[in-house]
């Protein structure tokens, strides 16, 4: 909902009549919803002159436009994030003093689902990662959110251990909600040897899935913190000693299963060489690389993704947004 207020400027321009004309034009355009062409005809001016008067009115403060969304959003932080990190879009969910990371994730996931459902034009092919956050996004997607969409998994997700959650079934859940189809990447996220990863990626079936992921103009993904609650640990790809070693080496978290430092650079080439799926630099080629991230334990990896340009759209909570705005140049 847009609320527009007209007011007199404290400092009048040299031509007071021009400002009165600005106010008249603004009232006709914003309050009475006249077209610029109708206003031009009424006042005996050109449409270009009307457009220029409206621009000047905003620049001088004669017209102030205040965005008041009906849903809970921190639009002020969204604008700052877009400006500071050159983003296409940003969605910031108020968090206040909330510290429950699970509840924060639910709120941000719901905002992400709403954003995806509202994308126009609709994308026929969308890439997704997997994990707890992305599974939550899938749960909030409205029925038929993108009819017939083709969803492709962009990184390996086959579980090595049985878990109580379905964090790896994200592509299927996204597709099911849209009455679409899903293409999976039926391989582990991290394999034991670099040579194994190379053989897998050369397999015609796996190669076809990876090529499909590359064709997706929209990719939606979450990020993982560097802690013992990581899904890569709970699913058996890494152990606690691996996580501690990565943290000591300067890792701030993972993006698409790839561990990065505070600037978004790969922290351990050995593990990265064993990781199956889309490489981070490919995110920069997407029309929309939508990063979904929430919670204090993911503050640093969110900043890393922003600084490295891996996200063009971020959907996050208020505390993470503030941290990103305050720590662009490091902690």
pLDDT in tens, the chain (331 residues): 333 333 433 333 446 678 888 888 888 988 888 999 999 998 888 988 888 888 888 877 788 766 555 567 899 999 999 999 999 999 999 987 777 788 899 999 999 999 999 998 899 999 999 999 999 999 999 999 999 999 999 999 766 655 545 556 899 999 999 999 999 998 999 999 999 999 999 999 999 999 999 999 999 999 999 988 888 887 788 889 999 999 999 999 999 999 999 999 999 999 999 999 999 999 999 999 999 999 999 999 999 999 999 999 999 999 999 999 999 876 5
The position carrying tokens 């490091």 is 330
**Token digits of residue 161:** 């251990």
Residue-by-residue DSSP string for 81-143: HHHHHT-SEEEEE--TT---HHHHHHHHHHHHHHHHHT-SSPPSEEEE--SHHHHHHHHHPPT
Domain ranges of the chain: 2-67, 75-326
Q: H-helix or E-strand containing 103?
A: helix 101-117
- Listed in sequence order, the DSSP H helices in the chain are 16-26, 36-43, 47-60, 75-85, 101-117, 132-140, 170-177, 194-202, 204-215, 231-234, 240-248, 269-272, 299-308, 318-326
> For the domain 75-326, what is the CATH code?
3.40.50.1360
Give the whole-angstrom CA distance, residue 56 versus residue 136.
Answer: 45
- Residues near 20 by Cβ (< 8 Å), separated by ≥ 6? none
Torsion of CA 227, 232, 236, 240, to 10 degrees: -20
Task: HSE, CB side, 13 Å, CA atoms: give it for residue 146.
Answer: 26
Looking at the domain covering 2-67, what would its CATH class be? mainly alpha
- pTM check: above 0.85: no
- Give 10's DSSP letter: S
Rounded Cα distance, 319 and 74, in Å: 11
């Amino acid at each position: 909902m847009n609320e527009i207020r007209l007011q007199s400027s404290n400092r009048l321009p040299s031509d007071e009549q021009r400002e009165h004309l600005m106010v008249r034009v603004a009232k006709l355009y914003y309050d009475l919803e006249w077209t610029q062409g109708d206003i031009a005809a009424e006042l005996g001016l050109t449409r270009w002159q009307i457009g220029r008067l409206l621009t000047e009115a905003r620049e001088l403060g004669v017209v102030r436009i205040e965005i008041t969304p009906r849903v809970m959003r921190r639009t002020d932080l969204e604008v700052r994030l877009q400006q500071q990190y050159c983003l296409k879009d940003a969605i910031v969910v108020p968090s206040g003093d909330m510290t429950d990371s699970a509840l924060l994730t639910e709120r941000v996931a719901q905002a992400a689902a709403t954003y995806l459902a509202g994308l126009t034009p609709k994308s026929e092919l969308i890439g997704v990662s997997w994990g707890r956050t992305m599974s939550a996004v899938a749960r909030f997607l409205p029925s038929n959110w993108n009819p017939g969409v083709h969803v492709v998994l962009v990184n390996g997700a086959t579980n090595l251990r049985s878990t109580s959650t379905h964090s790896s079934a994200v592509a299927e859940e996204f597709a099911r909600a849209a009455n679409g189809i899903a293409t999976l990447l039926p391989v582990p996220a991290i394999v034991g040897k670099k040579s194994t990863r190379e053989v897998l990626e050369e397999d015609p079936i796996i190669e076809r899935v990876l090529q499909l992921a590359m064709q997706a103009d929209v990719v939606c993904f979450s990020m993982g913190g560097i802690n013992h609650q990581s899904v890569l640990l709970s699913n058996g790809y890494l152990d606690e000693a691996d996580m501690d070693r990565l943290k000591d080496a300067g890792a701030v978290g993972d993006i698409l299963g790839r561990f990065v430092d505070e600037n978004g650079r790969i922290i351990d080439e050995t593990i990265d060489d064993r990781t199956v799926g889309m490489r981070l630099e490919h995110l920069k080629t997407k029309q929309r690389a939508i990063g979904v991230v929430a919670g204090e334990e993911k503050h640093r990896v969110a900043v890393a993704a922003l600084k490295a340009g891996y996200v063009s759209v971020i959907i996050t909570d208020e505390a993470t947004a503030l941290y990103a705005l305050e720590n662009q140049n490091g902690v």
